[in-house]
Amino acid sequence: MFNQEQLQALLSYAGNGADILSLYLDTDLTQESKDAVRLRVRSLLKDVGPEFKDDLEAIERYLAYEFDWMRPGLVIFSCAPQAFFEAYPTNVAFRNRVRIGAKPYVKPLTHFLDFYAHYGVIMVDRVGARFFEFHLGELLDNAGFMGEEVRKLKRGGGSAATGMRGGVGGAEREEEAAQRNLRQAAAEAHKFFAHKDIRRLFLAGTAETVSQFRDLLPKQLQSCIAGTFALDMNAGEHEVRQRALTLLQEANTERENKLVANMITAAAKGGNAIIGLAGTLQAIGEGRVQTLIISDGYRTPGYRGLHTGMMLSFNGHEPELAGEEFVEVDDIVEEAIARTLEQGGHVEIISGNEDLEMIGRIGALLRY
């Protein structure tokens, strides 16, 4: 499973003058066949140039003999002159793309690590519950709880006082048993998630049961709830995972929209935020960026200082600065991401936000 340490290793890797091929793939066989995926890969790579012949052969071999086609996503980095080849199958599909550059193209992976990190699902009914821990689309742990049977007693056939065959007493006992089960399920959920780094939690069940159960959870778990959905208690892990991923995407879209709105508002008021490429690069150079916010797919050339590491946007003329020599880079946005992460900052890659597109596709929330 891909992790932060592997991302840092990719950020620090350089091809010593040889370009690196970065390939992101949607390999979901529920959407198209294996042959169709491999044909699409050839189409993506057909224009990369003859100097990548060995890289293309390495990718073909990996897909033919090593890749687990049960995984819906795949990332490959290859630099044949340096004997460098890394492949990362994932349980989440990527948008198909290929990049060539002096360093691995990691923007989608930073988004992947943030977007799909550490979430949980609780399926609950009036008798029991099931608990799931996911990370990056993969199931890490699961457990279940079964309480006492809640008898559906026949109505109207007995005394309300005795409740022997239904009536008020029978209904009360049904509800009491259900409430005991829900309380115990909440306690078991607390035990299951107590030492797990859950950032978002989803509840599944009927609207009434979920509402009752939610109020019984510890405050810490309540604060993590990001959505609810209806699903049969006997549903398989794959269906649970897919429904959670859909809600996760919806919750993250809402969160991202708020993040962009807050950044734009703060920048307009002269607060701790900046928008646009030039100002953002300057803020990164000063070590002020807490959260870098970028439109998915945004890439643009720029300049990097060989001695100071200063980053500048591209204007067609090599910048001049006493004592500094600048080199042109194909993607200054990738440089900005690497620098932000090295400084302990956070990176958000956001898709489909029109407001972010309008203000230049990049900005940042600042430390000061």
Domains, the chain, with CATH or none:
4-105 (3.30.960), 119-253 (3.30.420.60), 272-366 (3.30.1330.30)
Chain-wide mean pLDDT for the chain?
A: 91
Residue 339: strand, helix, or coil: helix
Position 308 pLDDT exceeds 90: no
Residue 306 scores a pLDDT above 70: yes
Decide if pLDDT at 162 tops 80: no
Token pair belonging to 206: 């009927």
Give 12's Cβ-side CA count (13 Å radius).
7
Per-residue pLDDT at 5 exceeds 80 = yes
Residue 164's pLDDT is 43
Most confidently modeled range among 71-75, 106-110, 304-308: 71-75
Tell me the chain's radius of gyration from C-alpha atoms. Answer: 26
In the three-class reduction of DSSP (H, G, I as helix; E, B as strand; rest coil), residue 330 is classed as coil
189: buried, middle or exposed (CB in 10 Å: 19+, 13-18, 0-12)? buried
Banded model confidence at residue 150, pLDDT cuts 50, 70, 90: confident
Q: What is the pLDDT of residue 167?
A: 54
Split at pLDDT 50, 70, 90, the class of 152 is low
Residues 80-92 have a mean pLDDT of 96
User: 144 near 130, Cβ under 8 Å?
Assistant: yes
Q: What is the pLDDT of residue 183?
A: 97
Collapsing DSSP states into helix, strand and coil, what is residue 347?
strand
Residue 120 burial (C-beta neighbours within 10 Å; 0-12, 13-18, 19+)? buried
Task: Report the relative pairing of strands 225-229 and 200-204 from DSSP bridges.
Answer: parallel
178-189 average pLDDT score = 96
Rounded to an integer, the average pLDDT of 227-232 is 94
Q: What's the pLDDT score for residue 115?
A: 86
- The whole-number pLDDT of residue 321 equals 78
What integer pLDDT is reported at residue 100 of this predicted model?
Answer: 92
> Per-residue confidence at 287, pLDDT binned at 50, 70, 90?
very high
pTM: 0.79
Residue 158 has pLDDT above 60, yes or no: no
In this structure, what DSSP letter does residue 69 have?
T
205: region left, alpha or beta (phi > 0 left; psi from -120 to 50 alpha)? left
Residue 229 pLDDT grade (very low, low, confident, very high; cuts 50, 70, 90): very high
pLDDT of residue 169: 65
pLDDT digit string, tens, across residues 336-362: 998 999 899 999 999 899 999 999 999
Confidence of residue 159 (pLDDT cuts 50, 70, 90): very low
Q: Which residue type occupies 222? A: Q
pLDDT of residue 314: 87
For residue 285, give Cα distances in angstroms to 278, 280, 291, 345, 349: 11, 9, 14, 12, 20
